[in-house]
Amino acid sequence: MTTGQQLRLYNSLGRRMEDFVPLPDSPGGVTGMYSCGPTVYSFPHLGNMRAYVFADTLRRALRWKSIPVRHVINITDVGHAVADSDTGEDKLELAAARERRSVEDIAAFYTQAFFDDIAALNILPADEYPRATAYVGQMIEFAARLEERGHTYRLPSGLYFDTSKSPRYGQLALIDVAGQREAARVEHVEGRRHKTDFALWRAEEAGRRRVMRWDSPWGWGAPGWHLECSVMSIALLGPHFGIHTGGIDHRELHHVNEIAQSEACLGDGKPWVRYWLHNEFLQLGDQKMAKSAGGAPRLADLTAAGYHPMAFRLFLLGGHYRSQVDFTNAAMDAAQATLRRLAARIEPLRPLPAADTLDAALLSAGAAAGEGGTAAALLAELDAAITADLATPKVLAILQDTLRDPALPPDGQRAVVAAADALLGLGLGTLGARAVDGRRAASDLPAGELAAIERLVAARAQARKERDWARADEIRDELGKLGVQVTDTPDGPVWELR
């Protein structure tokens, strides 16, 4: 789709909504997009996966607006020290020692686990998945260039970037330089000039040989964590590109340091990346979900418990990417029930139009099928929602309204459902209700029984609206006798067959 609303995104650099305009000098007119990838020392947890569902949603929105994208997601297989620090053991070396396997085996195993999860969540493959270990030579050249330009200093522990030489240091975090330095992590590094200075190269400690090590002008050692993203993104997307994404935690440190070293190395006075987008945390209880916290659930844990991977994706899309969302069993139950209901309602509409036909021609087809432009109006609503900083909760609401609208003929529903699914990535064109969790599906019911259940659910919703709680409870009991479980959600009631 090429017409409709202007795509607007929330740029963390400045904390404001902005029109998205591709860089005029993008190679081939293609927008470069870089997403910070996994450190492959353990299984990715559900909180990790939110960043990639978000980045995938952004890619789908850009495709919807006919903006070509080249997407890069890095694989961190060296350089990431425990606690994101400049000292201490590398996460992969520590995992290798713990599991009694080589670092190569650890990296390969957990990289594949990441690929398995993004495939299960229907995340579009990136164009490149560069490994940090393949770019160490270029990292050394990058750091040497910074040293030549006077942005670094040497210590026995390695080569450090001098943040006092970066005039805009901390701009992304919206903290003044003095405040940024005051708030910086309190990790003692002998000889470090400022708390915010960070390692470009981590030298081996005397008498302690690293497992992963390279020779450099600063001695044997390994690159610092921040260096890889600058080097690989510039190598694969060019010196300046359009979009950089990551979790909100990267906005305060990792991305701040990426900007500082990249702009110092390029030395052309231009902002390195135009748009910075960050997703919020997934909350587990009252804590953000993080590997360091221990016990964070994985996608495999959900599927083992009977949830479909698309139920987790739907759960994430039900909240805006810039809002924290609370992961609970009740929320997953509601997402599973909603997914099952969507699949059951969409099954009779198949086949849906292919995703590559979702352009102006689809708008025309939807208008023709929708009698008076109803389908075209819904498509326009979808466009308005996704272009308003990826308002996926609104897209989901429009999808559900489309399937509930008795006045919209099947051809119009097909057009809107296909468009919504192209944006949401739930795979509704092929997902069967039975495949969601193997339970009896609404599509298995006789038409009369299905209609009766729908009437009861609607009557209960009306009773609740009128605060007639006794009547609502009576209807719930009646539905229960029919084997129907109703779950109330912010978008309205959803039901499933038990």
Between CA 196 and CA 178 the distance in angstroms is 10
pLDDT in tens, 158-212: 999 999 999 999 999 987 665 554 444 556 788 999 999 999 999 988 778 888 8
Indicate if the pLDDT at residue 123 is higher than 60. yes
- According to DSSP, the residues that pair with 153 across neighbouring strands are 160
Long-range contacts of 341-344 (CB under 8 A, 24+ apart): 341/433, 341/442, 341/494, 341/495, 341/496, 342/399, 342/400, 342/403, 342/426, 342/428, 343/428, 343/431, 343/432, 343/433, 343/435, 343/436, 343/441, 344/433, 344/441, 344/442, 344/443
Q: In the 8-state DSSP scheme, what is residue 81?
A: B
The percent helix, strand, coil of the chain (3-state, each to 5) is 50, 15, 35
pLDDT in tens, 241-264: 999 999 999 999 999 999 999 999
Quick check: 405 and 364 in contact, CB under 8 A?
Answer: no
Question: Residue 120: what residue type?
Answer: A
pLDDT in tens, 125-158: 999 999 999 999 999 999 999 999 999 999 999 9
Q: Which residues 6+ apart lie within 8 Å of 349 measured at CB?
A: 410, 413, 414, 417
Q: Which residue has the higher pLDDT, 431 or 178?
A: 431
Residue of 91, 83, 102, 85 whose CA lies nearest to 202: 85
The structure tokens 């059951």 sit at 344
Tell me if the domain spanning 8-293 has CATH number 3.40.50.620. Answer: yes
pLDDT in tens, 296-348: 899 999 998 889 999 999 999 999 999 999 999 999 999 999 999 999 999 99
Indicate if the pLDDT at residue 372 is higher than 60. no
| pLDDT at position 441 | 58
Distance of CA 123 to the CA centre of its chain: 9
| pLDDT at position 487 | 79
Q: How confident is the model at residue 498 (pLDDT cuts 50, 70, 90)?
A: low
Say what the pTM is.
Answer: 0.84
| pLDDT at position 366 | 45
206-215, 259-268, 398-407: least confidently modelled range: 206-215
Between CA 442 and CA 453 the distance in angstroms is 10
For residue 453, what are the CA distances in angstroms to 193, 337, 406, 496?
A: 70, 15, 16, 10
Between CA 224 and CA 85 the distance in angstroms is 9
Which tokens sit at 278?
Answer: 């960050």
